[in-house]
Amino acid sequence: MEFKSGFVALIGIPNVGKSTLINALLKKKVSIVTPKPQTTRNKIIGVYNTPDRQIIFVDTPGIHKSKNTLDKYMNKSIDSAVVDVNLILLVVDATKVIYEQITTALKKVNVKKVPTFLVVNKVDETTIDKIYPQIDKVKDVYNFKEIVFISAKKRQNLNVLLELIDPYLTDSIKYYQDEDLQSKKNDEFLISEIIREKALYLIREEIPHGIGVKVDKMERANNMLNIYATIYCNKSSHKSIIIGKNGQMLKNIGQRARQELEKIFNTKIYMELWVKVKENWKDSNSLLNELGFNSDEL
């Protein structure tokens, strides 16, 4: 059987479910998911492998206005993600106005040179009667190669999506040789993202995305993985919230992160977390590079 491969980029406004979709397709967490928009900051590369197919999925941050250096990195990562890909999946939220989501995305990202699917996510949270009238309007905006209705959360129609992607896999190169490889990012990045996910989920709206996580040290000893990491925030008041009364919030963040990472790495984990205040860290090139936002890679 002929081997086929290709690159597929996911774009869309924040919180439409791009990361959930990639995780569902790969059946493994490679991108963090929280109820907050702007969760994904780096390009996440997930590799879907079968004996005769390899699809390299590139997730991107939600399309938004640049307010600081971090935002510029994020928007630049979107631009670089859609260069030289075989296909773009423009993901929208079926529970919101689809037309507005598409026009917002197309103002920021030029998809004219690349075949593009419209992927309507979260169809399980609404009705067909509400979706279809919007789709007629959408056809006047852009000539999508396919319009696919899915629920990433409930894994509905994902096989259909994969089948529709197949004809666009025009390469015959196996870009990643390791059959078990599903994420290009290293372990430290995954760990920092899991910690950040748990913090964002638990803290909710009190500290809107004003945190970054850096793994300071990792070591294996006595059949255990020891992880030491720092959570960076903008203000002393934010630090107090992250730590919580008697350190309970920080303890909860660490506990949830540790439990999930133990399943991922299949080993016992010891974790120590610290919280440091770094004002305007989103504009600090040196700290952003330490946190993995290297503009040279974009």
Q: What is the pLDDT of residues 97-132, one digit of tens each?
A: 999 999 888 876 767 778 999 999 999 999 988 998
pLDDT reported for residue 157: 96
Distance between CA 34 and CA 14 in Å, rounded?
Answer: 11
Closest CA to 44 of 34, 29, 54, 66: 29
pLDDT reported for residue 4: 94
- What pLDDT band is residue 284 in, cutting at 50, 70 and 90? low
- pLDDT of 190 above 90: no
Question: How far is Cα of residue 209 from the mean position of the Cα atoms in its chain?
Answer: 14
- Helix and strand totals (H; E) in the chain: 9, 9
pTM of the model: 0.61
**What does the pLDDT look like over 191-246, one tens digit per residue?**
888 898 788 888 865 554 567 888 889 888 888 999 999 988 877 888 888 898 99
Distance between CA 127 and CA 53 in Å, rounded?
Answer: 34
**Mean pLDDT, rounded, for 34-55:** 64
- pLDDT of 70 above 70: no
- Contact 91/117 with Cβ under 8 angstroms? no
- Burial (0-12, 13-18, 19+ Cβ within 10 Å), 262: middle
Average pLDDT score, the chain: 78
